[in-house]
Amino acid sequence: MEVGARVWVPVSIAETRVSKRFDCIPSGTLHPNADEIDYLRRLVKYKDYAILVLNKPPKLPVKVCLPVHNSMDALAAAALSYDYDEGPKLVHRLDRESSGLLLMGRTKESINHLHWLFNDINPAKSSCKAWNDACDAKFQRYWALVIGTPKENEGLIRSPLSKILLHDGKTERVILAQNVGLEPSQEAVTEYRVLGPMINGCSWVELRPLTSRKHQLRVHCAEALGTPIVGDYKYGWFVHRKWKQMPRVDIEQRTGKPYKLRRPEGLDVQKGSVLSKVPLLHLHCRELVLPNIAKFLPLLSNNAETLSPGLSGKPDLLRFVASMPKHMKISWNLMSSYLV
């Protein structure tokens, strides 16, 4: 290197020293009032002694990052501890702009097993066949509204992903790996299925990630399928430059009567849907199936091979389905009104 040369380092490294100042902020300084606690607890769809399942709203960050302190991780630690000494911990993540089912562990043992469950590296099998079968049955399903429609109605995307740093030295971006061996890549696999016909240039797609990579679904939709998700300005900016808000429908085409789900009055209700000039991200984790951790935890902790009689009657799997956020519901209802 020559004297005076400039070296770019990732933001995560540059701010390591600064971020240490905020390590204790969530539990130390956040004190939600009664209304905030009630709001957060209304997001909870399921709770037992081992896990919490929430329906995360869009635009709420999941993990603490500078300069944001009101993340789901921080708020849950402050408001969702219930009768426990500590609040629940994240075991997987959703993007800030996306919405849907978010899983959190409530005990140290459940957190460890859930991290193990969501690890992309094939974990070692347990001696309990019921637990192994339940782990194999685990999946997540997302619904997304994409611009355009995939060439095939269903398929499997196998496109490794790489992280690069843009010219400003700060902005990180995920791209499809070029397979030239110059940058590290991670395997990324996604199943997809088109849910219906293309309407006004958009179509609904169901996505099932088989690996858990950062921005995997967004990059696979935008670059592998060529159909960016509506509201994804990071990976679909080239399409959103030509975005035209969807026209409002007032008459049902089948009956000729006024549309009962017609556009409500008030811009606050319409903000973010396909009726908006600047729609929000239309990506929602709708369904989650996972092993019943509360059932298997005593067995796993004791390294036993069979369940006790009191636990054997409980289901091996838990299934959750989360309703879409308002902006996606409006888009869904509007597009459904075009179908004859």
pLDDT tens column, 28-48: 455 677 887 888 899 999 999
At 336 the pLDDT is: 77
**pTM over 0.85, yes/no:** no
The pLDDT tens digits for 110-135 are 999 898 888 877 666 777 788 889 99
Q: Mean pLDDT over residues 291-312, rounded?
A: 75
Q: How confident is the model at residue 240 (pLDDT cuts 50, 70, 90)?
A: confident
State how far the alpha carbon of 34 is from the alpha carbons of 37, 57, 78, in Å: 5, 19, 12
pLDDT digits (tens, 9 = 90+) for 141-179: 999 999 999 999 999 999 999 888 877 777 788 888 875
The pLDDT assigned to 14 comes to: 43
Residue 269, pLDDT > 90, answer no
Residues 130-161 as b/e (b if ≥16 CB within 10 A, e otherwise) read bbeebbeeeebbbbbbbbebbeeeeeebebbb
Q: pLDDT band for position 310 (50/70/90)? A: low
Instruction: Classify residue 326 by its DSSP letter.
Output: H
Residues 225, 89: Cα–Cα separation, whole Å: 34
The per-residue DSSP string of 22-54 comes to: GTTHHHHH----HHHHHHHHHTEEEE-SSEEEE
**Mean pLDDT score of the chain, rounded to an integer?**
80
Question: pLDDT tens, 46-66?
Answer: 999 999 999 999 988 886 554
Cα–Cα distance, 89 to 45 (Å, whole number): 16
> Is pLDDT above 50 for 277?
yes
CATH architecture of the domain covering 25-337: 2-Layer Sandwich (3.30)
pLDDT at 329: 92
Q: What would the two tokens of residue 53 be?
A: 């399942």
Average pLDDT for residues 251-256, to the nearest whole number? 55
Asked if the model's pLDDT at residue 22 lies above 80, the reply is no
Active site residues: 95
